[in-house]
A and B are shown apart, each in its own frame.
Chain A
């Protein structure tokens, strides 16, 4: 699928080899989003920002499409790139460059694995307060922009990112922010790159603010009968709004006819967490939960970071928490119309739910998404498909595509045109957003 006819492969290979010590031909295993078969011609593994910039300069010179790859766990999400000449694999840039524990700051190369980083920071009793897969890279976490349960308290990657180094499509290296938490000098390019999915440039370095690891944590889990949906919604809102300061308020409903499970994570000191957990159990009990159980370990259904199995369609619904009941009802109605029985889980207290449609008739997942968008059209929020197999993506055409309605599209296009005028960075990642 790469545009092999538009350049002389030999001269490109030579130029890439001069730019970067570790360049190889793309292999079948490097294909992005297997079902679409976008295989890169070359894979470059730069070891530094300088090498990465040299690779991107070569790509600019030869008009090559470039796709960055971190841990690869979400590389198949979104629409696959329409072409990829050079896959820039950042896994060799894996160093923790600086951990200033007294300043609660860590500067990382973009390819650093979050699991390794977490281990290094834990030695000083600190963490990056995001729930992310251990195999994810720091750069990938920022580029995907996704957050897990603790987004309620700590926000998403953009909220913890305080500095970033990027390489633009033409090889220009630029920094914004820095390594101090409080800093308003200049535009914050980190915000722009968080969630940009490799379409604006390559992230090579990131600096995060850190938090102390909590001394104790407790999960307060409660169960609501299927018929007690309003009570469950009240419980979610009450938990999220409580001055007991929940780190996460998660909801799971494996099937529309089954019970609603609510779990609240509390973090803090040993004594404090014990007292807060007891108070939170009372609070959930007052909302009509059949039983509220306190545990040091997460319930088995704790959703963790958003994930999609192969063939699965993962739909993200964002909303104002006051509309939770309306959202759950709309999901049920849309699912019934489409003839599917998806599971629903997510950070309900923060206004985010994920709907997983199992592999099956692709048209049904798309019909579900379209119907849900229709039902929630007037509510604040959105329905976005984060991951879907090719057939579902195709069926989504005419139903709002992957992203659904996006305001300020003209401004986004203008930003894209400024940063990547040749549209060579992960081309087609956000395709049919019209």
Chain B
């Protein structure tokens, strides 16, 4: 590793290694055997080849902000930290494309193209620090993915190092795949199919107008009615976010965001697009928010005011730290129309367990982020919080939703995968894994509760047809 990356970029000191023992999911920690910080794609390939040659597991890490332990190291493996590769290599404003290195932070991409009237649409709350490479691994969303889509809709090419150490491209920056869409399959694979070394992202014209509406309600139900009516009116806002009383209280204490006092729910609706459309939608949204019984409505179109309103929402996760010594950030999804029922269920689960839950959610797409508050000094309370957190996921599955909307499965939720998927579903997904990483060295132990041995093929197995075996037919 020293030959490949240079001695200063290989970490062996036990104390320094501990710096990397976890990502944003601090409840899972493992000290890696070795940490390397490569600075080029060729170095990454060299590192991976060395690992593959010696059957040593390896894990890629971006900024380490992930919330599911996707970048948790392997105790006998190499942690490959991508943060030195953080250049914006190329911007083509006419084609609306940028080529970036994986360690660049999400917000830096937008900053690099803002003067050209463009932006990079995916905007996870951690965008100031999270890396685009990590976003690719997790298929990150963000508040605005309701309208603008997820990372997978904005990544059009990837240079990757395969788990055997080869550099190759998936996609070429056009919107057309030749052959199988491996680019799409790779995005969101949580670092288990290879390591990204370059990314071609799609840039989006900056909206002509942006308008943010804040509406305060006396109940979550009333806020939910406004959301239903807005969607029912055929409007797809850029974002629809909701916070409950407990998270409002936390945000207020942390950043003094000045949300209406005593509100049981605060709804944020952001509209963006051509000025003429935003104007038309705004009138409808204001009317519907009022009709649903808003006790107060504010709206803002200048960037400073909008940032002030968003500050409360964006700080919510960190802010609940003020309310509780420890908390679990949950990430579940339900069909949007089931939000009311599911929130009621979470409320009663919380009451039964005697554990407080603060709710922050992307109301437009049914993505819940319940924050389960507990005292980690008490073993009993810690366990009760975990049980409650699991029960919330069970509820999401029961309502036809998902165990994760944007944080990923990682190490945190692999045990829930069999509740959402059948053994055949999971085995079939792992066929992709076996195609990319038959030796199971690339971020092993993530996503799937039971690794599949790649030699075994389910069902009746026969030899290849002679035409295929002779190499005449490829697919």
Contact = CB atoms under 8 A, between A and B. Distances in A.
Interface in A409-424: 409-419, 421-424
Given A178-B400, A241-B93, A416-B475, A215 B234 contact: yes
A125 interface: yes
Nearest to A350: B175
Nearest to A433: B474
B425 interface: yes
A428 B182 contact: no
B175 A151 contact: yes
B94 A199 contact: no
A186 B431 contact: no
Given A103-B366, A413-B474, A244 B274 contact: yes
Contacts of A151: 175
Interface string A95-134: 0000010111100000000000000000001000000000
Contact of B400 (A180, A187, A268, A381): A180
A418 B335 contact: no
B186 to A, nearest CB: 9
B96 A321 contact: yes
A175 interface: yes
Interface in A328-347: none
Given A102-B228, A272-B277, A320-B173, A184 B429 contact: no
A243 B208 contact: yes
Contacts of A178: 400-402, 420
B289 interface: no
Contacts, number: 351
A263 interface: no
Given A60-B459, A100-B337, A155 B234 contact: no
Interface in B404-425: 404-409, 413, 417, 420-422, 424-425
A319 B428 contact: no
Contacts of B206: 243
B278 to A, nearest CB: 8
Contact of B274 (A61, A125, A245, A403): A245
Contact of A319 (B138, B174, B189, B447): B174
Given A182-B405, A411-B182, A269 B281 contact: yes
Given A412-B182, A416-B475, A243 B139 contact: no
Nearest to B416: A185
B145 interface: yes
B174 A244 contact: no
Interface in B325-375: 333-337, 362, 365-367
Contacts of B413: 185
Given A176-B429, A268-B277, A382-B172, A242 B464 contact: no
A309 interface: no
B184 A191 contact: yes
Interface centre among B93, B277, B336 (most CB of A within 10 A): B277
B174 A352 contact: yes
A255 interface: no
B260 interface: no
B274 A180 contact: no
Interface stretch (B24-32, B77-85, B162-170, B381-389): B162-170
Given A170-B458, A422-B462, A428-B473, A185 B435 contact: no
B137 to A, nearest CB: 10
A410 B62 CA distance: 27
A290 interface: no
A213 interface: yes
A216 to B, nearest CB: 10
A5 B206 CA distance: 63
Contacts of A125: 234
Contacts of A245: 205, 207, 273-274, 277
A172 B428 contact: yes
Interface stretch (B37-45, B148-156, B250-258, B314-322): B148-156
A42 to B, nearest CB: 18
Contacts of B365: 180-182
Contacts of A105: 335
A237 B425 CA distance: 43
A143 B359 CA distance: 40
A189 B350 CA distance: 35
A320 B92 contact: yes
A52 B430 CA distance: 22
A357 interface: no
A136 B366 CA distance: 31
A277 to B, nearest CB: 10
Contacts of A173: 424
B390 to A, nearest CB: 15
A188 B473 contact: no
Contacts of A184: 138-139, 141, 188, 402, 404-409
10 contacts: A155-B153, A182-B366, A186-B425, A187-B188, A322-B92, A351-B174, A406-B179, A407-B172, A416-B475, A422-B464
Interface of A: 57, 60-61, 63, 65, 82-83, 100, 102-105, 125, 145, 151, 155-156, 158-159, 166, 168, 170-176, 178-189, 191-192, 194-196, 199-200, 211-213, 215, 237, 240-245, 268-269, 271-272, 274-276, 316, 318-323, 350-352, 380-382, 384, 403-419, 421-424, 426-434
